[in-house]
Structure 1
Amino acid sequence: MPHDKLNLPVKICAVCQRPFNWRKKWARDWHQVRYCSERCRRAAKQAPSANG
């Protein structure tokens, strides 16, 4: 069974601005995923909001 990892969707992390690839655990929620890791998700919550 060949694995074709070159054609996976890619997004840019909202915190670290690094690209990250689709993961199977995100299959149902890919449209909502914004962060590459739990560390970036926590950092986003701790940063002061720019919206007020």
Structure 2
Amino acid sequence: MALEGYTSHSARSVGEQDLAGRIAPGYRADLTAFAVDPVRLTMTGGAVVHRT
């Protein structure tokens, strides 16, 4: 539920559900990869902005 809140629900809350909030063709590549270290990778607009 927390991940859904950070993804599809946040995109919907700002009216961007047709271009953000999921990993799918045609959607903006804004994503964060989680592991033991909470944030391993962050991308915005298809560009890596943080990597550990």
TM-score normalized by structure 2? 0.24
Which structure: greater strand fraction?
2
Which structure: greater helix fraction?
1
Pick the structure with greater CA Rg. 1
TM-score normalized by structure 1? 0.24
